[in-house]
Structure 1
Amino acid sequence: MGMGLEDLASYVESMLTEMAREKVGLLLGVSSEIQSMENKLRFLKDYFADADRRVIADESVRDWVAQLKQIMYGATDIIDLCQHEAMERGPSATRVVRRFTPLLFCIRNPSVAHDIGSRIKALNQRLDAIMERSAAFNFLSRRDMDHGGEVHTSHPYNFKTSGELDRSDVVGEKIEEATEALVAEIIKTRNEVNNDIAVVAIVGVCGIGKTTLAQKVFNDEAIQGEFDKKIWLSINKHFNKADLLRTAITQAGGDSCPTNDEMDMLVDILADALAGKKVLLVMDDVWYPTAWECVLKKPFFNAAARGSRVLITTRREDVARRMRAQHPCHRVDKLGPEDAWSLMKKQVCNGSKLSFWR
């Protein structure tokens, strides 16, 4: 695999970028499909190094890589199709064709244009399956590899959080102001925004107070009266998809879950529990967009009522972008000296161990 897959992905990415720039997707009616494919490839590229490390010893990873290559070769076939079409039009057509321009040339032929559009949609659907499978491998990102990371189920960041607010963690006026601003953002009226489901992100480094702020929003009085259901999910770096769905089902008041890991069944049960309900979903400590894209997005978008909201906390702004969070994201700043001192006094007086906000 190695550089072969990396180079292949880079070529396909550049092809998709050029298609977007030349408005090819718009002319074919698949602009959103092209953008989606580009985002997925950019996301997957971050894990190629770890996949390369594991491909020799792990047959399932080897099969995953082979399927991904097939999809990308399918994308390059689109260019070959257009080159062939240009050659059949004769030398005059071939002379004006350069790298990506055959795409524009081919959309003049309705049957070829339809074929290209259908291929792009089919490839995008296959990439969805690849994305879903990638979550099971717990691939390390390049950044994790650079820091010598290893996959361990007992990872120190795998602690679970809940929507319950520990008020001993709350100090200062800034968090009150931030809570008020986020609540207002989440419950905007129909006249202020398109009332479709939206994603709102809290971004900041580890220990800065993202979880505490999300808990403040989750328990805010205005939020209680705005949503039919509230769900708090602690995502972490090495989440289990089936467990995540079961937790969501329980908090949504759904029917009892199967004990096996039948993903389709769990997704259907969650969708039934969310059907027609205005929901606030909090996803705490999101490391990668996989938990949303490959697990929760489908039942949430298919079943929850318009006006539902997703609030995420994450250390990485690129995750917020990939989840299409509203811009600008809310950033959590460090405590000022007075607030830090207040937090220390509260923790000592309560007999608690000193700790940073989560």
Structure 2
Amino acid sequence: MDFFTSKVMEELYDLVKDKFQQELRAALGVEKEIQNLSSKLNKIRQVMDDAERRSFKEKHIKLWLQDIQAFCYDVEDVLDEWRITTHRQQMEESEDGAPGGIRRKISNFLYHPIKRVVDFAQRPEIPDITNKIKELDSRLDQIMKDKDLYNLVPVTYTHISGQESKRVPTTSFVDASEIQGRDIDASALIRVLVRNNNNNNGSPVVISIVGAGGIGKTTLAQLVYGDEQIESHFDERVWVCVSHPFDQIKIAKAIVESTTGSSANLSELEVLLKKIQNTLSQKRFLLVLDDVWTEEDAKWAPFKNCLLNVALPGSRILVTSRSERVAKMMASVYVHRVKLISDSDAWLLLSRIAFSGRTEVLGKIPHL
């Protein structure tokens, strides 16, 4: 769920920092509302981890998270309207400055800042957009009141240029004996990964693991990645921690370094993608992309096209994400939704951690 607020926060940050956009917001009387949206969403992000943890047991918090998701979608829609309108304004200004429009060009040069704001404010769609922004700010007030009512605990995030600090990178290594209650999930995924599929049109099949933050998506992917059947089935296995933002160069380098075993002293995406093609050509591979956040097809497309018709049939891309929209964007043929482990498995895991597996404690499962 933090994915949605993070994405909207980033878009609001871009809107707030732009000087011309500041003039427009001030002229339209929505400066305060947009600043409020950014500030309140930041406070909501700080309690998101606590809310997601509690949502499995507390229905009212689950509904609260659904309200936030719906709210973020509505904010995105309004921001899209704003961007489309400003783009139209800029296109019309470009046409005004075309050859033959000398008087208009001189007028734009002399009065450009004021003219742009006035022209923008007079567009017929603007009153509707400004009303929607003010309504969103009012809706967010109620969401904030509910946040305080539910006593959600904040987790501090730091921001660099509007983005959250980088997360601790994951690896494929895990102690399978320490994992509890994921055998059925792992078996289901392994069956899908090794299944013959000749209808993928030469492109590796994408399979996604989707679930809330902290529920065990990465752990499940690690369990599957290290399975003996998976290890023997694929010629090449690659693990890449993606996280946010989706850094194409970093991801491409990680794939190259994993497949070649040496550092990739390259900085051009085109060159890196060609290297990936060479190393994975005529191999049946499993590529794990852990913790994918981006919904932008344009960022994923170069990798998808690079791997098209390169590898042997049966190659797979396994994705973990909090967002089903990410799974859809990546054209997943199968989505595995991760749920909470059972109470009995949870107790066995807790007792193993707390009591180091002492046999007199294990097995004495209380009524939960």
- Which category of TM-score, normalised to the shorter sequence, fits these structures? 0.5 to 0.7
Match among 256, 263, 273 for residue 269 of structure 2: 263
1:273 and 2:282 correspond: no
Task: Give how far 1:166 is off.
Answer: 2.5
**Closer, same or farther: CA 194–183 of 1 in aligned 2, 3 Å:** farther
For 2:9 and 2:269, the matched residues in 1 are separated by 25
Structure 2: how far apart are the matches of 1:305 and 1:221?
Answer: 20
**Distance in 2 of aligned mates of 1:256 and 1:160:** 18
Task: For 2:305 and 2:199, locate their aligned partners in 1 and report how far apart those are by CA, in whole Å.
Answer: 26
1:169 deviation in Å?
A: 3.9
1: CA distance, partners of 2:338 / 2:194: 20
1:53-132 correspondence runs (5 A): 53-56=16-19
Asked if 1:152 is matched to 2:160, the reply is yes
Q: CA deviation at 1:299?
A: 2.4
Q: Is the 8 A contact 1:202 1:330 kept in 2?
A: yes
Structure 2 SS opposite 1:283: strand
Secondary structure of the 2:19 match is coil
Identity level (%)? 28
Question: Number of matched residues?
Answer: 227
Q: Does the 8 Å CA contact 2:203/2:309 hold for their aligned counterparts?
A: no
- Residues 182-221 of structure 1: pairs in structure 2 closer than 5 A: 182-190=189-197, 196-221=203-228
Aligned positions of 1:218-233 closer than 5 A: 218-233=225-240
Write the letter of the residue equivalent to 1:296. F
Show the counterpart of 2:304.
297
Task: Give the letter for the 2:293 counterpart.
Answer: W
The alpha carbon displacement at 1:206 in A equals 0.7
Give the aligned partner of residue 15 of structure 2: 52
Contact 1:195 1:307 in 2 (8 A): no
Counterpart of 1:170 in structure 2: which amino acid? I
In structure 2, relative to structure 1, the CA distance for the partners of 1:197 and 1:341 (3 Å cut) is same
State how far apart, in whole Å, the 2-side matches of 1:257 and 1:57 are: 41
CA–CA distance in 2 between the matches of 1:264 and 1:245? 10
Q: Secondary structure at the match of 1:265?
A: helix
Q: Distance in 2 between matches of 1:169 and 1:56?
A: 53
Corresponding residue for 2:345? 339
Asked if 2 retains the 8 angstrom alpha-carbon contact of 1:171 and 1:343, the reply is: yes
Partner of 1:165: 174
Matched AA of 1:262: E
SS at match of 1:284: strand
> 1:310 corresponds to which residue?
317
Instruction: Tell me how far 1:318 sits from its aligned partner.
Output: 0.9
- The 8 Å contact of residues 285 and 315 in structure 2, kept in 1 or not, is answered as yes
Give the SS at the match of 2:313. Answer: coil
TM-score using structure 2 length: 0.53
**3-state DSSP class of the match of 1:285?**
strand
The whole-number CA distance in structure 1 between the counterparts of 2:286 and 2:212 is 24
AA matched with 2:353: Q
1:252 is aligned to 2:259: yes
Distance 1:255 1:295 in 2: 23
Q: CA deviation at 1:186?
A: 1.2
Cα RMSD between the aligned structures?
A: 3.8
Once the two structures are superposed, residues 58-105 of structure 1 have per-residue CA deviations (whole angstroms, 9 ceiling, x without a partner) of 9xxxxxx9xx979x87xx9xxxxxxxxxxxxxxxxxxxxxxxxxxxxx
Q: What secondary structure, in the 3-state scheme, does the structure 2 residue paired with 1:235 have?
A: strand
C-alpha contact (below 8 Å) 1:162/1:234 kept by paired residues: yes
Q: Spell out, residue by residue over 1:24-48, the C-alpha distance to the aligned partner (whole angstroms, 9 max, x if none).
A: xxxxxxxxxxxxxxxxxxxx99965
Task: Report the secondary structure of 1:233's partner residue.
Answer: strand
Tell me the CA shift for residue 347 of structure 1. 2.1
Cα displacement (A) at 1:344: 1.3
Distance 1:247 1:223 in 2: 21
Deviations 1:269-310 (A, max 9, x none): 122111121110111111114496155323222532232111
Instruction: Determine if contact 2:157/2:165 at 8 Å carries over to the other structure.
Output: no
CA distance in 1, matches of 2:286, 2:199: 18
